Amino acid sequence: AQTVTQSQPEMSVQEAETVTLSCTYDTSESDYYLFWYKQPPSRQMILVIRQEAYKQQNATENRFSVNFQKAAKSFSLKISDSQLGDAAMYFCAYRSAMRGGADGLTFGKGTHLIIQP
Amino acid sequence: DTGVSQDPRHKITKRGQNVTFRCDPISEHNRLYWYRQTLGQGPEFLTYFQNEAQLEKSRLLSDRFSAERPKGSFSTLEIQRTEQGDSAMYLCASSFGLSGTDTQYFGPGTRLTVL
C-alpha cells in the first residue's frame, strides 16, 4: 500500500516570503500522480498543483511550484511571495495510475501553513 | 458550474441512529468518490463510483456503511447504527475522466457528530 508522509505539522512564513512544504511517499509503482491540495478553514479542498510521475519537468502554477525527486520519492511544494490568502492546511496526495482512476487519493496528514502579516 | 454540493453541512445524531448524507457532483462528471476526514488527519478514501456502478470500496467501509449513486447522478452515503467513532467530516469529490489523469473536485463536506 502506498503511504504519504508530511513531516511538518505546522509552518509559518512572513507575508511576501517563500516557504517550502515537504512531502515524501512510498510506492512500488512507477506510474502515478502526485497532488497538492489546499483546505482553507471551513472551506472546501481545492487543487493547487499536480505532477505526473513520468514527467521530469517540475510543475508550476503561478506562485506555486514543486520539486519532484522521483528517485528520492520526494514532492515538495514551494510557495513564492506568500499571501494572507495562502493560509490553510496543505495536503500532499498520491494516486496510482495503474487502475484507471478506480483508486482514490492517498493523503498525508497535512501541514498547517500560517502567514504572518 | 456550481461545484460539488453536499447536504447537510452538519449533522448531530445520537449513537445507534441512522444517518444519510447526499452529494451532488458537478454535472457531467462520471466519477464520484467518498472520503472520511477525522480531526488532524488527511482524508481517507471510502468508495468510488463510475457512473452508477460502485467499483471500489475501502476496508474502512464497514457493513454499517452503504453508498449508492442511482442513475449516475447524485450519491448518498448511509451509516446505520452510528457509533462515536463515526464522528468525522465526510467529503465527496467528483471528476470526469476515463483514465487516472482526472482532477477530483471536492465538496464542502458533511460534519457528523455522534453523541
Which of A44, A54, A95 is the best residue to mutate to test the B interface, defined by the most B CB atoms within 10 Å of its own CB?
A44
Top mean-pLDDT range of A38-52, A93-107, B15-29? B15-29
Name which of A6-20, A71-85, A93-107 the model is least confident about: A93-107
pLDDT at B12: 98
Query: What's the confidence (pLDDT) of residue B1?
Result: 54
Q: Say whether pLDDT at B69 is over 80.
A: yes
Chain A hits for B56, CB-CB cut-off 8 Å, are 102-104
Q: Which residues of B touch A95 (CB under 8 A)?
A: 100
Cα(B7)–Cα(A116) distance, integer angstroms: 35
Which whole number is the average pLDDT over A33-48? 92
What are the chain A neighbours of B101 within 8 Å (beta carbons)? 33, 52, 97, 101
The minimal CB distance from A101 to the residues B44, B97, B108 is found for: B97
pLDDT band at A102 (very low <50, low <70, confident <90, very high): confident
Residue in B99, B101, B103, B111 to test binding to A, most A beta-carbons within 10 Å: B101
Q: Among B46, B55, B108, whose Cβ lies nearest the Cβ of A44? A: B108
**pLDDT > 90? residue A43:** no
Strands (E), A1-117: 3-5, 10-14, 19-21, 24-26, 32-39, 46-52, 60-61, 64-69, 74-79, 88-96, 106-107, 111-116
The mean pLDDT value of chain A amounts to: 94
